Structure 1
Amino acid sequence: MKNTYLVFLLSCIFLLSCKDKHHLDSVKISGNVFGTTYNITYLNTNVSYQKSIDSLFLLVNKSLSTYIPTSDISKINAGDSTIVIDEFFTEVFHKSIKIHKETNGYFDPTVGNLVNAWGFGPKNEKKNLDSLQVTKMMQLVGLDKVSLVEGKIKKETPEIYLDFNSIAKGYGIDVIGRFFESKNLHNYLIEIGGEIRARGKNAKNKIWRVAIDNPNTDGTRSFADVVALDNQSMASSGNYRKFRLTENGQKYVHTVNPKTGFATESNLLSATVYAPLDCADVDAYATAFMAMGLEKTKEFLEEHKEVKAILMYVNKNGDLVEYKNNN
């Protein structure tokens, strides 16, 4: 799944400081999933749900992972039109349509062929496409070319390749959060590869707090801001670490612009998005913002007041600037 690197859990420090006092009331679980790591903390119980959580992760992967050849999405991408999709795939598909419309097409899971061709998907092709090749591949881009009919995905052209990696990680977090709520657990923080869903309070009975990384390219870590998550989800996306350079120095980034088909940088270095929404939603918004660039993202935020963002960009003078709309 899409890797992001922008969020560090300050809340973990707070929890460690309370370990002796609250060890029976909180459980911490960590591991690997979706090509990255996860850290989960939940309170008011001493029951471990590790097996249940791992089982849910397996189900999400079986449905949505393009990195697993036997998953439903991989079979659909390979041309199998007989797959009856499950509730996970159905919800992510409907969410994708909604966010595709909200972002005027800047979020588009049908960009998968181009993601692969530029070298950022499971096929890892690493092609240096010219404009004619991109124009041809853009004929396979457009979520309006895909529909859900009687539980099955229908594509206008079999070669259309769906890629939910920019929403599925956040969705996996939501699946675990809903599981906790079904167990009457309402104080938890779930983090997978930097994406977060926070509910209730931490072990100090305070709102969960997380820090936002500066977009450093030299391997160092420094913090740009700290955000309190009051029953909110957060996701971050950035191109400053996940990119590749050609022999002649051309830079290609992992965010493929679904409007142009090119893997070139916008004027945003990173976008961190948080809101009282599902993590899947903010995950998708963060990806869309990186393609939209600074000005279009500002316009979006003006129209969607519930969505908060911290945008890092370089101004005309070469200075690193932070924009945020959380006032």
Structure 2
Amino acid sequence: MEIIKKSLFYFLIVILFSCHQKIEKKDFILKGGVFGTSYKISYLNADKNYQESIDSLFLLINNSLSTYISTSDISKINSGDSTVVIDDFFKEVFLKSKKIYKETDGFFDPTVGNLVNAYGFGPKKEKKNLTDEDIENYMKFVGLDKVTLHENKIVKTNPNIFLDFNSTAKGFGLDVIARFFNSKNINNYLIEIGGEIRAKGTKKNNKPWLIKIVDPVNISSGFKVIDLSDKSMATSGNYRKFRVTKKGQKYVHTINPKTGRATESNLLSASVIGSVDCADVDAYATAFMAMGLEKTKAFLKDKQHLKVILIYTNKNGNLEEYATYK
């Protein structure tokens, strides 16, 4: 009997010791494709690989907000289904869009979706050569003030209004993953989707999350190095996304919501950096491309929390840079 008692005692000791053993923490790098682009996620000192959870979150975002998926909530709403009850993802992006739409005096406007499609930059890829009359007709359906939220349903003043949140989808995706990491007490990570970035904490050895971006104004210097620890960064530019018609007309993917036209302003690239959600800087970068340089500079005067690197062409056609990020 004494032997049995001792055996049970040692057995309990082993169980208690096992329960108090620390789970080994590891660093992870995850790579893949989402939102029509690639992603890379680095997170440190975690107890497991969260690839499956992250894939599930990406799927939920797509099913809510992707205009490229015919069965998504936004696609159903765009096709005229007024019975869709939106989820929390859709609601957050919609309300955030409303806020930035007002702040930018309508230069950020996700109701330019019909024009995005018509110019060939949306899921329908129509590639029309729009006349002034065409643009005028499409502009009747532009204006986020024509869309409201009532009892978690989207209400449009005209069923032809086409919502397109793709200008903030990547940034919002980063925010969702960042919040997931925060809920798991992961305090050091860098998330990058298609060039948009959000970072928290530090890398190994307490080194900051530094990223390099090409400096097109000073090619000889190669890159700019930016500290993105505890910051978000998004870039919008027309130097890659454009098309040229047989007649030589150039259309860029940034649609000016004020004019309905897809022609370049003097601003070629806008990178926005801030200690805010990545969806916010994503939306601001889009708005700045439509605003052009001078309106953007005026807008930033009372937005000290936003830092920018703007690449533009001067009156002689040469590249210059306006930067508030140091």
TM-score (norm 1): 0.90
Give the letter aligned to residue 316 of structure 1: K
Counterpart in 2 of 1:307?
306
- The separation in 2 between residues aligned to 1:204 and 1:236, in whole angstroms, is 29
Q: Distance in 2 between matches of 1:222 and 1:115?
A: 36
Instruction: Please tell me whether Structure 1 or Structure 2 has the larger radius of gyration of its CA atoms.
Output: 2
Pairing 1:296–2:295 present: yes
Counterpart position of 2:199: 198
Q: 1:24 Cα shift?
A: 5.7
Residue 263 of structure 1: aligned partner: 262
Structure 1 residue 149 corresponds to structure 2 residue 141: no
Instruction: Find the counterpart in structure 2 of residue 241 from structure 1.
Output: 240
The amino acid across from 2:297 in the alignment is K
**SS state of the match for residue 138, structure 2?**
helix
Cα drift, residue 62 of structure 1:
0.2
1:48-99 CA distance string (max 9 Å, x none): 0000000000000000000000000000000000000000000000000000
Q: Is the Cα–Cα contact under 8 Å of residues 237 and 287 in structure 1 kept in the other structure?
A: yes
Q: Secondary structure at the match of 1:303?
A: coil
* Gapped regions of structure 1 (runs ≥ 5): 1-22
Aligned-partner residue type, residue 146 of structure 2: K
Supply the distance in 2 between the matched residues of 1:286 and 1:181 (Cα, whole angstroms). Answer: 26
Task: Name the SS of the counterpart of 1:204 in structure 2.
Answer: helix
SS of 2:31 mapped into structure 1: strand
Residue 134 (structure 2) pairs with residue 140 (structure 1): no
**Which residue identity is paired with 1:293?**
G
Amino acid in the other structure paired with 1:240: Y
Q: In 1, distance between residues paired with 2:296 and 2:212?
A: 22
1:105–1:222 Cα change, 3 Å: farther
- The residue that corresponds to 1:96 in the other structure is 97
CA distance in 1: counterparts of 2:121 and 2:183, whole angstroms: 36
CA distance in 1, matches of 2:181, 2:222: 30
Q: CA deviation at 1:224?
A: 4.7
Q: CA deviation at 1:26?
A: 1.2
Partner in structure 2 of residue 186 of structure 1: 187
The answer to whether the 8 A contact 2:26-2:48 is kept is: no
Q: Kindly indicate whether residue 128 of structure 2 is the aligned counterpart of residue 123 of structure 1.
A: no
Q: CA RMSD in A?
A: 1.6
Percent identical: 65
CA offset digits 1:159-217 (Å, max 9, x no partner): 0000000011100110000000000001100000000110000123111111222459x
How far residue 298 of structure 1 moved from its aligned partner, in angstroms, is 0.5
Contact map agreement 2:233 2:273 (CA 8 A) in 1: yes
Matches of 2:315 and 2:89, distance apart in 1: 44
Matches of 1:145 and 1:190, distance apart in 2: 34
Contact kept? 2:213, 2:225, Cα under 8 Å: yes
CA distance in 1 between partners of 2:257 and 2:295 (Å): 15
In 1, the alpha carbon distance for the partners of 2:104 and 2:77 equals 25
Q: Residue 168 of structure 1: SS of its match in structure 2?
A: helix
1-structure distance, mates of 2:187, 2:306: 22
Q: Tell me how far 1:46 sits from its aligned partner.
A: 4.6
How far off its partner does 1:37 sit?
0.2
Which residue is 1:18 aligned to? none
Aligned position for 2:13: none
Tell me the alpha carbon deviations over residues 131-165 of structure 1, each in whole angstroms, 9 at most, x when there is no partner.
11101110000000000000100000000000000
Matched, 1:35 2:36: yes
Unaligned runs of at least 5 residues, structure 2: 1-23
- Whether the aligned pair in 2 keeps the contact of 1:215 and 1:270 (CA below 8 Å) is no
**Which residue identity lines up with residue 136 of structure 1 in the other structure?**
N
3-state SS, counterpart of residue 89 of structure 2: helix
Structure 2 Cα separation of the partners of residues 314 and 148 of structure 1: 40
What does the per-residue CA deviation read over 1:243-275, in whole Å, with 9 as the maximum and x for residues that have no partner? 000001110000000000000001011000010
SS at match of 2:71: coil
Q: Secondary structure at the match of 1:129?
A: coil
Asked whether the 8 Å contact 1:255–1:263 carries over to 2, the reply is: yes
Partner SS, residue 29 of structure 1: strand
Letter in 1 for 2:161: I
Query: For 1:293-326, what per-residue CA distance to the aligned partner results, in whole angstroms no more than 9, with x for missing partners?
Result: 0001101111201000000011123321111112
Tell me the distance in 2 between the aligned counterparts of 1:66 and 1:31: 20
TM-score, normalised to structure 2, is: 0.90
